[in-house]
Structure 1
Amino acid sequence: MKPTKPADEMTVKELARYIDQSVLKPEFTVEEIKKYTQEGIDFGCKTICINPASLEVVAPMVEGTDTGLCVVCDFPFGLATTEAKAMLAEEYCSKYDIEDLDIVANYGWLRSGLHDKVVADLKPLVEVCHKHGTKVKVIIETESLNDEQIADGTRCAVEAGADFIKSSTGFLTGHESEGASPRVVKLMMDAANGEIAVKGSGCIRTREHFLQLIDMGIDRMGVGYRSTPVVLDCIPEEAKNL
């Protein structure tokens, strides 16, 4: 969506609504999950993006706040069966008030040109989520794809009825880390053609990059817990001087 004013004129509260704060590291302790969730709530982030095992901890924390729940599914590889993905979505969405569910598409199939299989794999999960009022973001792991495959993946998400196309999990290894660069985001936006919202995720660590993507018309961004205060320019003065 095109913003109504330049990003550098937005308030911290307005900017924070673009952020799904990522609290996904598998090694996090419960106390760390609570700490980084609370920080995201305090900033006013749109959602806290968590692993399913964290739902029991995080759901009560966001209740009654302006920050929602975003849960990942079949993360980070997207290689469960179609039936298993739909069952997982039903398990999460029937028990918790989940605003967004981020599902990993089978990007090996995208690389193989099996677009019909990708769409058929996503549709049952999308239907389950929409039944519960949960939006779906499809992650296509853009760093594993060429430009044509990124466009194809975006169109597959549109055909499956998803609400967002998303670039990266942030957990892919063995590839150059481009993440949600302006180039990749533009590829997704062009292929989306206004039919699906765009979420950039991966390597969004500077305020300049963050504001640039907003001005391009991005809809949402996945930002790591360390980078949220940086992109919002909310680092305490004493911390900046360390």
Structure 2
Amino acid sequence: MSIFLAGAGPDHLAFPEVFDRFAQAVRRRSGDEAPARVAVVVHDRNGNLESLLPAYVDPLLARMPVEVVPVLLGTGSPANPSVFDGVDGLVVGGGLTPAYWEGLTASAATISRAVAGRVPYLGFSAGAMIAPRRALVGGYRSRGIEVCGEECSEGLAELEIRDGLGLAPFAVDVHAAQAGTLSRALGAVAAGLVERAVAVDENTAVVLSAADGDSFEVLGHGNCWDIRRSGSACSVSVLQAG
């Protein structure tokens, strides 16, 4: 399986590698006889859902024939899990992380089974944050103390960890260096909310070959900050694409 967790939204010019690798994985899954069926999940609080699709779909169409299965998450409208049956790939977009969590949590078991069956998953920003088994979905305070800027709160005050899609054994935060959310990931581990978190820079992704794999590949141009709890302390490893 191939699980790609990107640290920002789609930018096919600055970070084409993630689309290249995902498309290759999808074609290995689908074969060359027919267009690959790829579900593309987007949410927008203003309701402009259709306008969001090209940023995710056009880079894929430039690389392979695709039959797009749009999954449009509106307010109070979670996805029907059956929409993910029979897809060759799954893309989950960026935006408000709690909204993506609310829209996809009922589909978590279906998505997890699909990925275990070698359906590639590509999560951008929010789509990366909800992917883990235990997902950091937002917040900017830990026990009342600020750990990142309120503008990164996702509409939540205290850090919140929720059951995610089950696709990674560690929590994920995004826009790490650029938005200062590295400190949020560190705060979550330091507070004992999770045992491990990986904070991913923009134009960078972590790539897992299995949902329960301890190690990952770094793809792109920035850093991944691997934060682990050890007793009452935390260790941080800074990893780059090799």
Query: Per the shorter chain, which TM-score range?
Result: 0.3 to 0.5
Considering fraction of residues, name the structure with more strand. 2
State TM-score, norm by structure 1. 0.36
Considering fraction of residues, name the structure with more helix. 1
